[in-house]
Structures are given as structure tokens and as C-alpha cells.
Structure 1
Amino acid sequence: MTDENIEYETMEFDVVIIGAGPAGLSAAIKLKQLNAELNVVVLEKGSEVGAHIISGALFETKALEELFPNWQDMNCPVNTKVTSEQTMWYDSETQVKALSPSLIPKPMHNDGNYIISLGNLCRWLGEQAQTLGVEIFPGFCAIETIKDNNNQVIGVKTGKMGIDKQGKQKDSFVESMLLLAPVTLICEGARGQISKQLIKQYNLDKDCDPQHFGLGIKELWKIDPSKHKQGHVEHGAGWPLSDSDCTGGSFLYHMEDNQVVLGLITDLNYSNPHVSPYDEFQRFKQHPHIKEILTGGERLVYGARTIAKGGPQSLPKMHFPGGLLLGCSAGTLNAAKIKGSHTAMKSGIEAAIVIAQGFEQEHVVKHLAHFEFQFNKSWAYQELTLQRNFAPAVHKWGAWLGGAYAFIDINIFKGKLPWTLHDKTPDHLTLQPADRCDKIQYDKYDGVISFDKPSSVFLSNTNHEEDQPCHLKLSDESVFSTTNLPIYHEPAQRYCPAGVYEVIGDEQKLQINAQNCLHCKACDIKDPTQNITWTAPEGGGGPNYPGF
């Protein structure tokens, strides 16, 4: 095939999958289990499978059991069972109390669940997929879909490699490739580049609420063995986000080897442009309850990622001509559980069943239209429906009253109240002008419990080829000086958890440090003018998370 007189290398498959996360790998595995003759390929933009995977790391095994009923005999890295749990309410920067389990919405209970490294689980799933004959290409970014004359997706185009900042070819130049297939599955995670394009091109979100997002910031620590409680889980709400008029919550999980993973999820519908989710997290760690656990320990890894948490009322149409949106590309995370891996895996499994049936009946493209009917019958969609009012209730009434509503809705009425709450305002439209909002004074970092952004990004093992075009695109460079700086005091310098956006010099210019990017997509989501578009950098770039 040619494009602009360029001859591209072309590879043909039965199914092309974008993203080696839980949804994509589950789809690939199930496809090969159902039909070993299918030619399946998975493209992964990270340097290896699992490199870009970051999760709260609480895992339900329901979907895993459907893929591998004997997973416990297969050296699967799912080992640390939840042994105890608490939900904490942080009253202030010094006060905290444990809530009675009887007051907690049922989806937040974790009996039978595991604390895992999702990255390691994806590495294991990748190995199982390859054993079954799936081809996996790490270090390759899909940048756009390819369509035929009927506007049907017939594959994807990968990004060029070896282009300098001026757009010229370097000695390392590698041309784009075309990967063609009758079926393309988009499993990029929340706010992916291609899923965003497809939702707009095919108007897939015309009948749903706007998607809503939270920014999860997370660290892995090795702590004093005397403070470690393997299998213990804590979730929290209240301070510090309540002081900044934000919603969201914290988590603290005791893993193996005296390690704990802790983090803070800040809902991106906050209104005060002075809010810094990164600094809210650093402040959270200074609470005596958390600081006591971390003191004497060592911070090992840092990372950040957005999650799609709007609920089923924010799910776009998941089918488009020639393919499907799966997992967090659509928004299948269960916000009440703060878990999305099992539902993402189930979406991949159901997609594989529909696709295999379509190939068997020799009309796979038409058969894709059955996917949403199939998925809506599954336990995953029923689970999402049960908790559909959780996120909008918290958005409307805050963590305390919203949580109380969720308890009544889920625990008492079993999620069957005859209405659905809605949040029709996109996250980027919630910011108020900076001069109407209280400034927030964050404490200086002590270098022991709290740390600056550069030292944190260092622990994410983030690396990009520096001499390449900036992958963070501004639609209009003048918006910074006409709108974002004078009205909102350029919120990107605060909502970005990696110091990518800086306002520098007496002339107040915007500097973009693209090499720091963690691929969290917060800028693409929260920019009030929607002037920033996140695009995939050269393949293999970005964070390399170990242990997440």
C-alpha cells in the first residue's frame, strides 16, 4: 500500500490488538484458545510487556479463572491474598479513624482478592499468549487506524522512528508499517490516542455521559519489617483532598517482601486551578498514620496514570466498523471497587468469543456488532450497572455524603434504585478562574517522606529519545498567553505529575519537558481549553515500571 508516494511494509493478520494490557492480552489468549489457527498480533508501545502498567494492584481472579482454571498451578504471579482490611476517614492532617466494615459499600470489600503487581501479571499473560502462538511486538506505537473506501477500519499504522526535532530523518530512521486485519481491537488504556480518534470519528459517545477521570499517583516502598503486615489493605478518604475541595481517595497495600504500595487518586473534576494532585499526595504521606509506616523505609518506584471512572453511563459505543474498544479504552473500570483489571479482562474474553464465532461463520466484521449485546449479558457489565451511581454521587455530594448515598444504593437496594445519576460536565470544563479560588500553600519537600518531581520521575525509569518531535501537541500556541496563563495561572504546571509543563523566565513562557512524560494523559484530559493533545512518542519511550 502507498500513502503520499511512500511504500510501506505491510503485514497481514486475522486480528490486530493495540495494547498489551489486561484487556488486549486476555483477548489474544482467548482467541487462540478458541481457534489456534487465527493469526493474532499485539502491539505494545512500552519497551516490554508491563513497562507502562501501573495499577492499584488489588485483583479479583474471576476473569483469570475463565482464561486459566488452573492458574494457581501455573506459576502465575498472584500470590498475596488479602488477609485484613480497613477503610479510613482522615478528619484532618493529624486525625484519622477506621470506619466500621458494616458502613462500607459492599463493592469495596476485598475478601478473596489478591494484592499483586499488575505489570508482572501482564508479563505472565504475555508469556502465555506467546506460548499459544500470539505475536507480540513491544516498542511499537500505533498512531492511527487505516480505513477502506467504506470507512471501515482495516488495521493500523505504526509511528516512524528515527525522526529528529526538526522532522528530518536520522541515521536510525525506520519507516512506519501497516498492520492489516479484518478485526482491530483497541486496548490502549484510559484516554488512548487511537480510541480518542475513533470515538470522535464515529461519534461513539453521542448517547452517553462524558467520561470522567481520576489521576492516580503511586509509590512503592520497602518498609521496616516490624511495620509490615503482608496482605493488609487500607483505603481512605477525606483529608487532604477535602481541604482542597477535591474528591478521590487513598490506598495502602502491604505486598510481599516488606513492600507497600500507596497512592492517592484525585478526581479530575476539581474546580480550583491551584490544586496540584502531586503535592496532595506528598502531603498525604505526611499524615502521622502514613508517616509512621514509611519512616525508616526506602522509596523504590514512582508512577502516575489516569483512570476512566465515569461508570456505565459514560461508556461509549464499544463497536465501530472493523473493531472494538475494550477495557479502559472504553471505560470499564469499577469505580466503587477501585478495580478495573478483572472487568477489562472480561471485555477481552467476550470480544474473543464474538470474534471466533464470526470467523467460524465467515462474516466476522458483521458479527462484531453482537459484541455489546454479549458484553451486556456478562457479569462484568452487571457489576458496573450495580455501582453506576457511585462516581456521580461522590462528584455531586462529596466523599462523605456521596459515600452514604452509595451505601444505601448498593448495600440496601442492591443497585436497583429506579434511576441513574448523571454528571454531564466534562472534567476540563470544571476549572474556575484562578483569581476566584483560594491559593493553596503546599509544604516544602523534606527528601525523606516527600520528594520533588524530578527525583520522582527518576524512580519511574522514564526515558525518551530526546532528539524527536514533541509528542505533546498544542493546537494553538497563543492559548497559553491569552487564556491558560492569565485566567487559570497555567494549571498544567500543577496537574502534571512529572514536571512536563513549566512556566519560566520573566517573560513567562511555557516550556514543555516532553522527555519527563509518564504517559498519564492528565494534560489531554484536564487542559481547560483542550489545547493539548497527547500523542504517542517514538516506540519504547516512556516509563519502565518494575514491581507495579
Structure 2
Amino acid sequence: MIKRIFTSIQVGSISRWTFQYIPKRFNSIPVERVKDFVDVCIIGGGPSGLSTAIKLKQLDQNDSLRVMILEKSSDFGSHIVSGAVIEPKSINELFPNEINPQGIALPSDLITKVTSDHMLYLTKNSSYSLPEPPQMTNKNKNFIVSLNNVVKYLSERAEELGVEMYPGISVSDVIYNKNKDGVIGVVTQDMGIDKNGVAKDSYEPGMEFYSRFTILAEGCHGSLSKKVINQFNLRKDSDPQTYGLGIKEVWEIEPSKFKRGEVLHSIGYPLSSDTYGGAFMYHFENNLISIGLVIGLDYSNPYISPYLEFQKLKKHPVYSDVLKGGKCISYAARALNEGGYQSIPKLTFKGGVLIGCSAGFMNVPKIKGTHTAIKSGIIAAEEIYKKVQHLDSVDEENFEDQEIIDLVEYETEFKKSWAYQELYEVRNVRPSFEKFGLIGGLIHSGISTMITNGNEPWTLHNKTPDYAKTKNAELYKPINYPKADNELTFDILTSVSRTGTFHDEDELCHLQLKSKSLKRHSKMNWEKYKGVEQRFCPAGVYEYLKDDKGDVKFQINSQNCIHCKTCDIKDPAQDINWQVPEGGDGPKYYMT
């Protein structure tokens, strides 16, 4: 039944189809939903969700638990974006008997051991070597991988263990208990609703999945995680989460320029001194490299375009000398958690937990989050299994009346782990750049990472969310970015065509305006920020167009959305609400 209902076809195409208005979700469709009952329902099939499922089934020797993963991408790994240098510690804990001679529990064809490290400070035309902080040392201990290939491998391992795997399934809502103080399940997205909110002939209602434990492993700024965090006020004792936008390409370069295992990081150009961020280039396999730029979304100048800053980066001699003569084969973009220790919310709620990037476990100085995400999944699985093995079998008829467990032990155990300690030790690195600027941040970070080792008796805080740091356009001059040369740099729609993204032309828009009106949204943002949406979006989704009368019209090209979530995070008016589209929609990344 599940597989029949959740059949989805992915077609690689790109369009500039637009909405003239965003209707409310159609509420008059008669809905009779299929219900199912499982022990553990995991939302998201990335490293954290898969590690939770794998560990649970490793512990479940009697194969008595129903463990299910619902993943919105068309297949496991398709929505994964990462710079992809990983530490082996947590994957080795997951498969302790499978560590290969290179020191990691992954097949040799998936990994490239780091053989050299470089850290540079860039000016417009020059570069200067910098000492590497301990957190960024990768040589002979860490590995370059295609993270979506690693996720595909983990999904195969999970399926072998008996985890129920359902890609192409978007989960649109949570099911609360009668008192609304706990979560007892989730609802998958309805299929076959047109752009006006009317049911088509192909309409199929989503399913309701009830579970003893709901695990939110959606990645950064997940739509369900937002709802649960707000519903249960999980951030009451933490700073707001802060974010970066990572933009990345995979290139096939000339063999003479390929240096297998080389890792390069840089700061400085093309970003201004008051904009946090940095770049990377990793040589991994078969003359393939990944190159990218991460820019903090707390920047104040609304004329900054992260996408075009990335294009400028590729013209710098350090990068252009490697790329010239090569071919760009893939493009991707994704928001990243940057808040670190101070922004970790309460990790548990009745009936479920937050893991991985849903909780914000990225180590910003390391530019890594996979190892901490996997560790959180392992801990969650261990604590869930301790509870669930002593529970009676699921009583489907009286499910809503059963006790809802608040798995507080998960948060307790995570705080005892090396992953939590690691995040604590670097807690002052990212906020030091916000507080003291580039030079002051470098000095403070150097002291924190090389001298005090995170034991300084203070913790820097940030109480202002990224969207609120955007300043009025009148304080800045527009930035004149160079035009694409179609050799090293490309226009945004060319790049989006390399993501394989797809959304049905006639489906309900997943980019919802809280104001319910394009005109009202334009009025809120245009005068102050002069079209900031069309610059922060790395996929050409948002545009401001002038009509014959000179009036400005806001337009949403939802077909182009690559699910980076930047609009939901950076919109100064907080009027854009990113929700899941139909299952299987969105990008289909290759080798990211």
C-alpha cells in the first residue's frame, strides 16, 4: 500500500514558470487518510537519520521494531550538499568491525585520504599563507568524499538491516496528542493539488504515520523542526540559530592540475572584511574537484549576492589556474547552521528528538558537521532502544491514549559525548568575528583554539537573528558584478540547470507568503532593501520586475527552487515560509 501511494517520477528540467499569487492551501478536499503505526519514524535520510536507523536495527537483534525513514528527495543522497571532508570517528563507532587499513569504516572506492592542507588569505590578485588552526588540520587523518555517495551507501546498509526506506516522500506536518504537548506522528504531503489549491484527477491524500518516537533529521532549518521548536519553545534557553549559505560546484579538471587528496581553504577575497565566510577546494577522485564559498547570512549589505560573490572567487588566480581548461559538471547550494554551542535548542520533546543539523551540530571552525550528526544519531538510537524494548506492542486502536515518552536521556547523554565537548571548545570562534570583526576575530580565534583550547572563562553570545541584521539599501551603493564569461563563471539559470531540479508546473506553491499577497510582500521589502530576495537566492527564484508604468512587481519562480532554505532564513520581513513540495521534487545532485 505504501509503495503504491508513494510512487514518484523524477524528470530533470528547469523552468521560469511563475506564480501571480500564492493561494491558501485548499481545505475543502474530502480527505480520508491511510494510517500506519510504527515504533520509530525518522524524517530525513541524511547521515544523522540513517545512522539512527542503522544503530537501532543493530541493537534490535530480534528484529522486533518497525523503523521507518521518510525522505523527501527522489532517492537517498539527491538533496545532500557538503564540502565533504569528513572525520572518521563516528562512522567508525557505527561500524567498529569494518575499519579499513586507511582508518575509516567506509569502502575504499568512496574515500580519498587527505594528503595536504593549505590555508590562504586572499587579496584581489594575491594570496598569503596562514597557519592552520588545529580544528582545520586534515592531513593523514580525514577523508574527502562525495557525501551523497556516502549517504547512498548508508541507505543500502540500513535497508539490509530491515529499515523501511521510503524516498520521494515529503512530510508536511506533525500530529500532536490531544493536549498538544507531545508529538505522536506525522502527515505526508498530499499529491495532485494544482497551483490554485484544487484537487486534480491525480489527487492522493498523504498518509498519517503514528510512532512511539518521531526523529527529526531534516537537516538545516527543516520545516517540521521549525514547527516543533516553536510549538514547544525549545529555544527559550539558547541563542537564535545563525546560518551560512554554502554554494558549490564540482569540476572535472585537466589531469596535470589534479592533486589527489589536496585540501585548500581560504579567507578574505572576494568577501569584504565585515562579511563572514571562506572558500574551499578539494581534490577527490578521477580529476574531480569541489570548489565552494560559504558566506554568513548575517551580512548587512542587501546588495550582496552570495552567488555572484562565488563567481568572483573563481576568477582569483588561486582558483582560476586550477579551473581553466576544465568543465563544470554540477552545482549546488544549501544553508548551513553556524550558531554552534550557544544555539543548540532543547533536544527533546514528548514523543521525539532533534538530531544532526535539525539541532545545529555543525562545527564551524572545522567546516564539518557529518561526524557530529552521525554521533547524535547513534546516541539517540541507543537511548530509544533502552526505552522501546520494555514497552508493550503498539495498541493501534488506543494509540492516542498511550503514554508519550520525553526522551530526556538523549540530551543528557549527548552532553556527555565528545561531540558536545567539541562544540563547546570552539563556541567562541564564530561569534568572535561578529563581535570583533575580521582581524579581531582571527586574533580571538587563534587564542581560543591554540592557547586556551576553549577553556576561556567567557562565552560570546548573539541575540539577533540573521534576517534582522540586514540594513536599509540607502546605506549602501549597488554592487557592479562582472557578467558571466561562460568559461569559469556562469549566469544563475545555467547553474540551476546543473542541479537537475524539478517541480510539477501545476502544483501548489511550496514558497508561501505569510502576507498572502505579492503586492504586500513587495511593499514590505522593496523600498527598504531594493530586492534583496533576488540577490540572496542562489537559484533565481525571486525577482522584482518593473511594468510599463514603472511599478515594481514581485515574482516567484518556484520551479527553480533548489531547497536551500535561504529565503526562509534571510528575508528581512520574515514573510516567506518554506514548506515541502510534493515528494521527489527539488534538486537531484550529483557528486556533491
TM band (smaller chain): over 0.9
Name the SS of the counterpart of 2:543 in structure 1: strand
User: Is residue 219 of structure 1 aligned with residue 244 of structure 2?
Assistant: no
Is the 2:170–2:188 Cα contact (8 Å) retained in structure 1?
yes
Once residues 423 and 168 of structure 1 are traced to their aligned partners in structure 2, the CA distance between those partners, rounded to angstroms, is 44
Task: Give matches, 1:39-118, under 5 Å.
Answer: 39-69=66-96, 70-72=98-100, 75=107, 77-90=109-122, 92-100=123-131, 104-111=132-139, 112-118=141-147
Is the 2:278–2:293 Cα contact (8 Å) retained in structure 1?
yes
The aligned counterpart of 1:31 is 56
CA displacement at 1:6 relative to structure 2? 2.8
Once residues 390 and 311 of structure 2 are traced to their aligned partners in structure 1, the CA distance between those partners, rounded to angstroms, is 55
Name the SS of the counterpart of 2:526 in structure 1: helix
The aligned counterpart of 2:419 is 380
Q: How many aligned residue pairs are there? A: 541
Task: Give matches, 1:281-360, under 5 Å.
Answer: 281-360=310-389
Name the SS of the counterpart of 2:381 in structure 1: helix
Name the SS of the counterpart of 2:197 in structure 1: coil
Is the 1:15–1:182 Cα contact (8 Å) retained in structure 2?
yes
Once residues 435 and 486 of structure 1 are traced to their aligned partners in structure 2, the CA distance between those partners, rounded to angstroms, is 9
Once residues 106 and 539 of structure 2 are traced to their aligned partners in structure 1, the CA distance between those partners, rounded to angstroms, is 37
The aligned counterpart of 1:451 is 490
Structure 2 unaligned residues grouped into runs of 5+? 1-27, 393-402
Q: Which runs of 4+ in 1 moved over 4 A?
A: none
Is the 2:87–2:371 Cα contact (8 Å) retained in structure 1?
yes
CA displacement at 1:359 relative to structure 2? 1.3
The aligned counterpart of 2:151 is 122
Name the SS of the counterpart of 1:485 in structure 2: helix
Is the 2:348–2:406 Cα contact (8 Å) retained in structure 1?
no
The aligned counterpart of 1:489 is 530
Q: Residue deviations 1:501-526, cap 9 Å, x none?
A: 01113221111000100100000000
Name the SS of the counterpart of 1:53 in structure 2: coil
Is the 2:350–2:406 Cα contact (8 Å) retained in structure 1?
no
Name the SS of the counterpart of 2:407 in structure 1: helix
Once residues 218 and 509 of structure 2 are traced to their aligned partners in structure 1, the CA distance between those partners, rounded to angstroms, is 20
Greater CA deviation, 54-63 or 67-76?
Answer: 67-76
Task: Give matches, 1:84-483, under 5 Å.
Answer: 84-90=116-122, 92-100=123-131, 104-111=132-139, 112-151=141-180, 152-242=182-272, 245-362=274-391, 365-366=404-405, 368-476=407-515, 477=517, 478-483=519-524
Is the 1:44–1:139 Cα contact (8 Å) retained in structure 2?
yes
Once residues 362 and 123 of structure 1 are traced to their aligned partners in structure 2, the CA distance between those partners, rounded to angstroms, is 32
Once residues 367 and 474 of structure 1 are traced to their aligned partners in structure 2, the CA distance between those partners, rounded to angstroms, is 34
CA displacement at 1:378 relative to structure 2? 0.7
Once residues 108 and 212 of structure 2 are traced to their aligned partners in structure 1, the CA distance between those partners, rounded to angstroms, is 32
Name the SS of the counterpart of 2:585 in structure 1: coil
Is the 1:237–1:399 Cα contact (8 Å) retained in structure 2?
no
Is the 1:13–1:40 Cα contact (8 Å) retained in structure 2?
yes
Once residues 404 and 365 of structure 1 are traced to their aligned partners in structure 2, the CA distance between those partners, rounded to angstroms, is 48
Once residues 441 and 379 of structure 1 are traced to their aligned partners in structure 2, the CA distance between those partners, rounded to angstroms, is 46
Once residues 546 and 409 of structure 1 are traced to their aligned partners in structure 2, the CA distance between those partners, rounded to angstroms, is 37
User: Is residue 530 of structure 1 aligned with residue 574 of structure 2?
Assistant: yes
- Alpha-carbon distance change, 77 to 309 in structure 1, aligned in 2, over 3 angstroms: farther
- Alpha-carbon distance change, 367 to 271 in structure 1, aligned in 2, over 3 angstroms: closer
Aligned residue identity for 1:436: L
Once residues 123 and 76 of structure 1 are traced to their aligned partners in structure 2, the CA distance between those partners, rounded to angstroms, is 15
Is the 2:32–2:205 Cα contact (8 Å) retained in structure 1?
no
Aligned residue identity for 2:214: T
Name the SS of the counterpart of 1:289 in structure 2: helix
Once residues 438 and 350 of structure 1 are traced to their aligned partners in structure 2, the CA distance between those partners, rounded to angstroms, is 50
The aligned counterpart of 2:5 is none
Once residues 34 and 383 of structure 1 are traced to their aligned partners in structure 2, the CA distance between those partners, rounded to angstroms, is 26
Alignment partner of 2:46 out of 21, 25, 28: 21
- Alpha-carbon distance change, 349 to 365 in structure 1, aligned in 2, over 3 angstroms: farther
Is the 1:217–1:265 Cα contact (8 Å) retained in structure 2?
yes
Once residues 303 and 511 of structure 1 are traced to their aligned partners in structure 2, the CA distance between those partners, rounded to angstroms, is 22
Name the SS of the counterpart of 1:388 in structure 2: coil
Once residues 190 and 408 of structure 1 are traced to their aligned partners in structure 2, the CA distance between those partners, rounded to angstroms, is 29
Q: Residue deviations 1:161-216, cap 9 Å, x none?
A: 11111112222221110011010000001111000001111000011001000000
- Alpha-carbon distance change, 18 to 123 in structure 1, aligned in 2, over 3 angstroms: same
CA displacement at 1:365 relative to structure 2? 4.6
Is the 2:349–2:406 Cα contact (8 Å) retained in structure 1?
no
- TM-score norm. by structure 1 comes to 0.96
Once residues 444 and 480 of structure 1 are traced to their aligned partners in structure 2, the CA distance between those partners, rounded to angstroms, is 29
Alignment partner of 1:9 out of 34, 37, 44: 34
Once residues 167 and 147 of structure 1 are traced to their aligned partners in structure 2, the CA distance between those partners, rounded to angstroms, is 25
CA displacement at 1:257 relative to structure 2? 0.3
Name the SS of the counterpart of 1:349 in structure 2: helix
Once residues 160 and 172 of structure 2 are traced to their aligned partners in structure 1, the CA distance between those partners, rounded to angstroms, is 28
CA displacement at 1:291 relative to structure 2? 0.7
Is the 1:272–1:438 Cα contact (8 Å) retained in structure 2?
no
Taking only aligned residues, the RMSD between alpha carbons, in angstroms, comes to: 1.5
The aligned counterpart of 1:502 is 543
CA displacement at 1:76 relative to structure 2? 6.0
Aligned residue identity for 1:429: A
Aligned residue identity for 1:194: L
Once residues 198 and 241 of structure 2 are traced to their aligned partners in structure 1, the CA distance between those partners, rounded to angstroms, is 37
Name the SS of the counterpart of 1:144 in structure 2: strand
- Alpha-carbon distance change, 77 to 527 in structure 1, aligned in 2, over 3 angstroms: farther
CA displacement at 1:4 relative to structure 2? 8.7
Once residues 404 and 429 of structure 1 are traced to their aligned partners in structure 2, the CA distance between those partners, rounded to angstroms, is 27
Name the SS of the counterpart of 1:204 in structure 2: coil
Once residues 512 and 308 of structure 1 are traced to their aligned partners in structure 2, the CA distance between those partners, rounded to angstroms, is 25
Aligned residue identity for 1:12: F
Percentage identity across aligned positions? 47
Once residues 481 and 129 of structure 1 are traced to their aligned partners in structure 2, the CA distance between those partners, rounded to angstroms, is 46
Is the 1:78–1:114 Cα contact (8 Å) retained in structure 2?
no
Name the SS of the counterpart of 1:88 in structure 2: strand
Is the 2:252–2:328 Cα contact (8 Å) retained in structure 1?
yes
Once residues 495 and 240 of structure 1 are traced to their aligned partners in structure 2, the CA distance between those partners, rounded to angstroms, is 16
User: Is residue 511 of structure 1 aligned with residue 564 of structure 2?
Assistant: no
Name the SS of the counterpart of 1:494 in structure 2: helix
Once residues 117 and 285 of structure 1 are traced to their aligned partners in structure 2, the CA distance between those partners, rounded to angstroms, is 21
Once residues 177 and 366 of structure 1 are traced to their aligned partners in structure 2, the CA distance between those partners, rounded to angstroms, is 23
Aligned residue identity for 2:296: D
Once residues 272 and 284 of structure 1 are traced to their aligned partners in structure 2, the CA distance between those partners, rounded to angstroms, is 18
Q: Residue deviations 1:97-116, cap 9 Å, x none?
A: 1213xxx3211111300000
- Alpha-carbon distance change, 306 to 50 in structure 1, aligned in 2, over 3 angstroms: same
Once residues 134 and 314 of structure 1 are traced to their aligned partners in structure 2, the CA distance between those partners, rounded to angstroms, is 32
Is the 1:64–1:71 Cα contact (8 Å) retained in structure 2?
no
Is the 2:45–2:70 Cα contact (8 Å) retained in structure 1?
yes
Aligned residue identity for 1:503: Y
